[in-house]
Structure 1
Amino acid sequence: MSDMRMSPNLALNQLVAQRQAAGEPLIHLGFGESRLPAFGPLVERLAKGATRNAYGPVAGSPGVRAAAAGYFERRRIPTDPEQIVVAPGSKPLLMAINLAVPGDVLLPRPAWNTYAPQARLAGKHPIAVPIPEECGGVPDPDALRECVQAARVLGHDPRIMVLTLPDNPTGTLAPPAMIRELCAIAEEEGLLIVSDEIYRDVVHDPATDYLSPAEVAPESTVIATGLSKSLALGGWRIGVARFPEGPWGDWIRTGVVSVASEVWSTLAGPMQEVAEYAFDEPREIRERLRASARLHGIVARDVHRICVAAGARCRPPTGAFYVYPDFEPVREELAKHEVGDSPSLARRMLDLGIVVLAGHLLGDEGEALRFKCATSMLYGDSAEQQQLALDAEDPLSLPHVRSVLDRIEDSFQRLL
C-alpha cells in the first residue's frame, strides 16, 4: 500500500482543473469523461427516487436487476435477474471480482490505468500482453499463449483475462473473429474472461458487428458495464455486472455480493430508480444513446485526422471517445525538442497547451512515443453549448467546437 498513488487520470484531472481555474488556457485531452448535459428524463427519475432511502438488497432491487437482465437479453445474451449485481460504478465491481476470484490477471498492453492497480490491491500479479496491430482492448492471440506459459514458469498463476470492448485507450473494437479466438484460448487455459463493456453503447457505427465473449463463452465470462460513458452519468456512479449461469458463475456472484456487503452495502436507492429506467431503454433513451455515440464518433475522427496530419501512426477510432497516436515515425524530429519517451512527449504537449495521458501510465512501454487523447470534453464549456453539439447535423461546424479543434490542430502542427 505504501507504493500506491492516486489513479493518474484522476490526479491529472484535478491538476488541470486547478490550473484552468488559475487562468491557464489548457485543452484537456487526458480524462475520459463524457461531458454532456444530464438528460432531462434521467434527472426526473433521480428526483422521483429521492424517497428511496432504505438500504434494500445488496445485489439491487428486483426491478433494477430485471431491467439490466432485459438490457443483456436485447443484446443476444440471455440473462436471469439473479445473474445481476448493481453497484456504485463498474470500478467497485471490477475490484470485487479481483477479491472474489483467485489468480493473477492478464491485461492488454496498453490498458485502462485502473486494471493493474486493482490487481495489485487484491494481491495479484498483473501480466501485460501486447495488443494486436489492428485494435486494442484485447491481448494479441499469438502472444497470449506464450505469456500464459511464461508466467507459469515464473511461478505466477494467470486465471483471469480482461478485455475492453470497445477499448480505452485506443478507441477501437476487436472484431468477432478475434473474440472467438481469445475465447478458445481462455477455454484451453481455464481462464475467466472479464469483459469490460462500459463503452458498448458508444460504438460509432450502429451497423458494427459487435460480439461479446459472453455469446461465445457464456459459462466463463463476466460482463461489467454502467451508465457513466453512454449516458454521461460519471458523477452518479451506476455500474452493473452480469455473471455466468451455472455453479461457477453463482460462486463468483456470491463472492462479489459478499464483498459488496462489506464495502458499499448497496447502490443508492435514487440511482437504482435511474438505472431501472435507463436499462429498460425506452425510446427517448435509445435516441439519446444514438445521438451521443454519433457525436463522440464525429469528434474522435477529427482528432484522429489531426494526429495523422502531424505525422503519427494511429488506429482509426470506431468506439468510445479516444485516439492513441504513435509518434515513432517522427522520433528524430521530436528529439530536437528533447523528446525521446512517453513522459517527455506528454510534457512537450503540455508546453503547447494540450493535456494528454502519457502511454507509460497505461502500461505501455516507457520509451514509446504514445499517449491517449480523450475527445469527449470538446463539445463546449456550458450545458447549452454541449446540447448544441449533440443536436447539430454537423457539430464540427459549430464555432465553439471548431475553435477548440483548430487550437488542437495548431498545437499538433507545432509539435515537431
Structure 2
Amino acid sequence: MKLALNPRVAELEESATLKINQTAKRMREAGEDLCHLGFGESPFPVPELLQQALRENTHHKSYLPGPGLPQLREAVAGFFRKEFGYDAAMERVFIGPGSKELLFDLLYLLEGPLLVPAPSWVSYGPQARMLGKSVQPIPTLRENRYRLQAEELERACQESGSGQKLLILTNPSNPTGSVHHTQELQELAEVCRRHQVVVIADEIYALVNFSERPFVGMATLYPEGTVVTSGLSKAFSAGGWRLGVALLPEAMSELLQPWGALVSETFSCTSAPIQYAAIPAFAEYEKLRQEVEHCVAIHRAATKGMWQTLLGIGLNCPEPEGAFYLFPDFEPFREQLASRNIRTSNDLATRLLEDAKVAVLPGAAFYMLPGHLSVRLSPVDYNGNALQAGTDFDAMFPKMAEAVQRIGVFSVSEISELR
C-alpha cells in the first residue's frame, strides 16, 4: 500500500542542525579527522546541583499538570522577574519538552504570517510551513551585525498586509551572536504596536551575553505583545533534558485556556523527574551564577577568539556579543571559489566538509539567499570539563584554531592542495 502523506510534511527535511551533528558523529566514528563547528551544543557538564536534583527525583512517575509543575512555574516566574524585570506570574508560565515544542505551539495557536529576520534559526520557517503559514524572511545587513532594524520591519509589515502578524526575534542571535540594543528594541516595539505584531522572543541565550551592556529583552519594551521562550539547553548545558519555558504577558491571558487544552491533547506534560530537577536552576540561581558566568567567559574566549582569527584570514564576520555562534561570509573569495564551482552557501558548506573536513552550516539554512556565501560556525568543539578561562585562543582551543587554518587554506587553494 502506498501511503498518502500530508503535503505539508511530504517534502519536509530533517533539521539542518541535527543532520550535520549526526553526519559529524558518523565521520568521527569512521576515523575522520573532523573539526565540528556545525552544532550549537554547550560542551560543559550540567551543573552538579541540577544533576543531584535529578538523582533525587527519579521516583516521580505520575502525570503532572499540562502547563507544568506549579513549584517549577513559580520558580521560573520569580527568576525572570528578578533577572530581567519581566512581569512574570506563575499562572502565565508554561513548561514544555524543550522550547522548540513551545515555539511550535505558539505558531499553532496564533493566527498570522510569520516574519523572520534573515538570518535566523533554522526551525522557525519549517514549523510555520507545517502549519500552513506563510513565511516572510526580512533581509538584514551585515553592517548592522544582522540585527533587525525598525525600517526593515516596517517595510515587511506593509508588504504583508493588514491583520495580525507574528515576529520571532532571537536575542542573542543564533546564528550571528549579535545582541539587540535597547534603542533598537524600542523602535521595533513602536512598529509592532502600529501593525498588530505579536513578538515571540526566543531568549534561550539571554544568560550567554558577553556584550558590555546588560541584557534587555523585548518584553521590557513591548510587554503587552511579547511572549518569551527559554529553557535549560544553553546556559545550563542541558539540551538533552528537553526542558523549555514560556512566559505569557497578562495582555495575552486569553491564550491560557486554549494552550492548556492543546497541551492536554498532545504531549500531556513534560517529564516529571526533569521538571523537579529543573527547579533549582531557577529557584536557586544564585548558587549557580558563578558557574554559569565561568562558562560564559569561556564561550566568550572561544567565540571572540575565533572571530579575530576569521578576520585574520580575510573573511567578513560581524563581532559576536553573545550565544556561541559566528556568521562569516566568503565574499572576498567569491571569484576564487567560483573557479572551483562553489557558487552557493550549500556548495560552500558541502565542500568545506568534504575537502577541508570542517563541519559548518550553510547560510541558506538560515533564510539567506542561496548565492550569499555565508556559513554558521559554532565554536564549541572543545572539552568543557577541562578548560579554564583564558585569552590565548590557539592554546585553549587547538582544534578550533586548526579549523580556521583549514578554512583559510580552503578559501584560496585548489582541492588537490588540501589533500
Between the aligned partners of 1:286 and 1:395, the Cα distance in structure 2 is 25
What displacement does 1:95 show?
A: 0.3
**CA RMSD, Structure 1 to Structure 2 (Å):** 1.7
* Partner of residue 41 from structure 2, selected from 22, 33, 44: 33
* Partner of residue 371 from structure 1, selected from 371, 375, 381: 375
1:235 aligns with 2:240: yes
CA contact (8 A) 1:324 1:370 kept: yes
What displacement does 1:219 show?
A: 1.0
What displacement does 1:276 show?
A: 1.1
* Partner of residue 332 from structure 2, selected from 329, 351, 368: 329
CA contact (8 A) 1:97 1:252 kept: no
1:258 aligns with 2:261: yes
Equivalence for 1:5: 13
* Partner of residue 400 from structure 2, selected from 381, 400, 405: 405
SS in 2 for 1:35: coil
What displacement does 1:135 show?
A: 4.6
* Structure 1 counterpart of 2:85, one-letter code: R
Deviates more, 1:116-125 or 1:402-411: 402-411
What displacement does 1:242 show?
A: 0.1
Q: 1:212 to 1:134 in 2, by over 3 A?
A: farther
Equivalence for 1:114: 123
* Partner of residue 195 from structure 1, selected from 186, 195, 201: 201
* Structure 2 counterpart of 1:13, one-letter code: N
* Partner of residue 72 from structure 2, selected from 39, 59, 64: 64
What displacement does 1:261 show?
A: 1.3
* Partner of residue 171 from structure 1, selected from 172, 177, 181: 177
Q: How big is each residue's C-alpha offset from its partner over 1:118-138, in whole Å with a ceiling of 9 and x where there is no partner? A: 111121111110124455675
**1:44-83 maps to which residues of 2 (within 5 A)?**
44-74=52-82, 75-83=84-92
Deviates more, 1:229-238 or 1:406-415: 406-415
CA contact (8 A) 1:346 1:355 kept: yes
Aligned length: 401
Equivalence for 1:360: 364
CA contact (8 A) 1:108 1:136 kept: no
What displacement does 1:392 show?
A: 4.0
Between the aligned partners of 1:15 and 1:43, the Cα distance in structure 2 is 29
* Structure 2 counterpart of 1:97, one-letter code: L
CA contact (8 A) 1:38 1:233 kept: yes
**1:177-326 maps to which residues of 2 (within 5 A)?**
177-205=183-211, 207-246=212-251, 249-326=252-329
Equivalence for 2:134: 125
CA contact (8 A) 1:58 1:260 kept: yes
Between the aligned partners of 1:223 and 1:191, the Cα distance in structure 2 is 14
Unaligned runs of 5+ in 1: 381-385
SS in 2 for 1:323: coil
* Partner of residue 103 from structure 1, selected from 112, 133, 152: 112
* Structure 2 counterpart of 1:179, one-letter code: L
Percent of matched pairs sharing the same residue: 30
Equivalence for 1:387: 385
Deviates more, 1:404-413 or 1:220-229: 404-413
TM-score w.r.t. structure 1 length?
A: 0.92
* Structure 2 counterpart of 1:373, one-letter code: L
Equivalence for 1:383: none
What displacement does 1:254 show?
A: 2.6
SS in 2 for 1:315: coil
* Structure 2 counterpart of 1:358, one-letter code: P
What displacement does 1:349 show?
A: 1.4
What displacement does 1:395 show?
A: 6.9
CA contact (8 A) 1:54 1:269 kept: yes
CA contact (8 A) 1:137 1:163 kept: no
SS in 2 for 1:55: coil
SS in 1 for 2:94: strand
Between the aligned partners of 2:141 and 2:170, the Cα distance in structure 1 is 13
* Structure 2 counterpart of 1:162, one-letter code: I
Unaligned runs of 5+ in 2: 1-8, 413-419
CA contact (8 A) 2:125 2:135 kept: yes
SS in 2 for 1:58: coil
CA contact (8 A) 1:304 1:316 kept: yes
Q: 1:71 to 1:132 in 2, by over 3 A?
A: farther
* Structure 2 counterpart of 1:413, one-letter code: G
CA contact (8 A) 2:301 2:390 kept: no
* Structure 1 counterpart of 2:213, one-letter code: T
* Structure 2 counterpart of 1:90, one-letter code: S
Deviates more, 1:288-297 or 1:255-264: 255-264
SS in 2 for 1:360: helix
* Partner of residue 18 from structure 1, selected from 15, 22, 26: 26
What displacement does 1:409 show?
A: 2.6
CA contact (8 A) 1:137 1:167 kept: no
Q: 1:17 to 1:214 in 2, by over 3 A?
A: same
* Structure 1 counterpart of 2:121, one-letter code: W
What displacement does 1:240 show?
A: 0.3
